[in-house]
Each structure stands twice: as C-alpha cells, then as structure tokens.
C-alpha cells in the first residue's frame, strides 16, 4: 500500500510540474511578430503573387455603377405598389362633395358653422379582375 501511495504521489508531482511548465511559455516565442502584415501574408499566399494577378483580373471585369442603369431598370423592378396597380386596376369611385349648412347641434344648441365634406360614392374600393379594365382612370 505504501508503494502505491508513493507512485501516486510521484505521478501527481510530475503532472503538476507539466501543468506549471505549460503555463510558463512566452507569447513572443510562441507567436513571433515580424514586419509582415496580414495583408502581405494574404497577398503572397498563392505563391509568387497569384493573389495579385487574381485581383488585377477582377478589377478589369468590374463595371462602374451610374444612375442611367438604375433609372432604366425602375420600370422592371417589382414593388408592392406597381404589382397591385398593374394587375388589379381600381374601378372608378367618384368623390361626392356635400355642403352642410350652419345649424345648432346637441341638447345645448351649440352653433355649428357651415362646412363642406368629401366622401366616396361607394363605401369601399372596388378592384377589377386582371385584364378586365384596360383604360386608366
């Protein structure tokens, strides 16, 4: 039993020494800093400037963006508004103008001046089926 205790103590002492020595490493020895940057490493990673050749080829293929391309594409761009208005045309719903004459309102007889109000003829908006109405209103 004494031998097993001695061997256990020896093993734990060796393990503790290994752990302590592992924590005593130097960062500069493990990860030395040089004059090269990450950009230099990335540029030279392909072996002999292969990455630079790739970047040069990409720059030739790139086109500049100008406003003329964007404005020409507006008609082809799908939005919620042009999808609804292009497929489902609104049926005409004329506005009616009503004039309310001056009057007395309420139990106190409060005077209300005359005013005009606008309201649609139909109480909800009606839409035509696709292709049903061709003219715009």
Ramachandran region, residue 71 (left: φ > 0; alpha: ψ -120 to 50; beta: rest)? alpha
User: In angstroms, rounded to a whole number, what is the distance separating the alpha carbons of residues 27 and 21?
Assistant: 14
Tens digit of each residue's pLDDT, the chain (137 residues): 556 666 777 788 887 777 776 666 777 777 777 788 877 777 676 555 666 777 788 888 777 766 665 666 666 677 777 666 666 777 888 889 999 999 999 999 999 999 999 988 988 888 888 777 656 55
Tokens of 104: 């007395």
Rg from Cα positions in the chain: 41
Note the pLDDT of residue 52.
72
Task: Please give the model's pTM, rounded to 2 decimal places.
Answer: 0.30
Note the pLDDT of residue 26.
73
Residue 113 neighbours by CB under 8 Å, 6+ apart: 102
């Amino acid at each position: 039993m004494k031998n097993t205790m001695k061997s256990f103590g020896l093993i734990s002492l060796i393990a503790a020494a290994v752990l302590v020595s592992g924590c005593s490493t130097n960062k500069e020895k493990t990860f030395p800093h040089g004059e090269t940057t990450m950009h230099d490493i990335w540029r030279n990673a392909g072996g002999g400037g292969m990455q630079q050749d790739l970047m040069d080829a990409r720059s030739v293929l790139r086109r500049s963006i100008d406003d003329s391309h964007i404005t020409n594409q507006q008609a082809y761009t799908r939005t919620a508004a042009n999808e609804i208005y292009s497929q489902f045309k609104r049926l005409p719903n004329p506005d009616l103008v009503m004039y309310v004459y001056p009057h007395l309102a309420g139990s106190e007889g409060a005077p209300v001046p005359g005013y005009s109000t606008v309201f649609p003829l139909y109480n909800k908006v009606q839409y035509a089926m696709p292709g049903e109405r061709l003219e715009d209103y």
